[in-house]
Amino acid sequence: MFEKISFPGEARVADLEERARRVSLLVMDVDGVLTAGGMFTDSDGVPVKIFDVKDGLGLYLLGRAGIKRAIVTGKSSRAVERRAEELGLEHCLQGALDKGPAVRELLRASDCAEDGLCYIGDDLNDLPGLVIAGLACCPADAAPDVRGRVHYVCAAKGGRGAVREVCELILRARGEWDAMVNQWIMGEFK
């Protein structure tokens, strides 16, 4: 049996832990979720993205637990492609202006039902993914219309640990978090 877990953010549903236990696919936006949402460019106008390393470790741990991970973003960036490769994400869909069909394609490709989908988004263009997800989450600084339609609002902001928070929520709900922490302590995590 699973123990009741605590979480730092705001649960908007009574069955949050059950929803988190069912997750087999995590899909996330980039700007405002994996990054803080600022727009930086180099001297040639090439976008520069700043990613939180704790988010990256959380995504790595989800992969170790057998949960598929994907990015769906409306923009296209080599930085996003490289980050997805570094983290070993199963899917990275860029240039997806209409995220609804993109998320449905990911569900088909991952053989995942909607109740097994966790989607993390922060703005209006993420609503098509959020409304079909069994577990819909957003960073603390998400747009009000998004915050009002999710199951979980993170305590952390986008690009500052929100993705890690959701990863931990899922792994704790599945009863896997403590074993992973102990593997790190014992030097057994490879």
Question: Which domains does the chain show, CATH number per domain?
Answer: 14-185 (3.40.50.1000)
Nearest to 27 by CA among 166, 144, 140: 166
> Could you read off the pLDDT of 49-105 as tens digits, one per residue?
999 999 999 999 999 999 999 999 999 999 999 999 999 999 999 999 999 999 999
pLDDT of residue 1: 45
Q: Which tokens hold the place of 32? A: 């405002």
pLDDT per position as a tens digit, 110-162: 999 999 999 999 999 999 999 999 999 999 999 999 999 999 999 999 999 99
State the pTM of this model.
Answer: 0.95
Residue 82 has phi, psi (to 5 degrees) of -65, -45
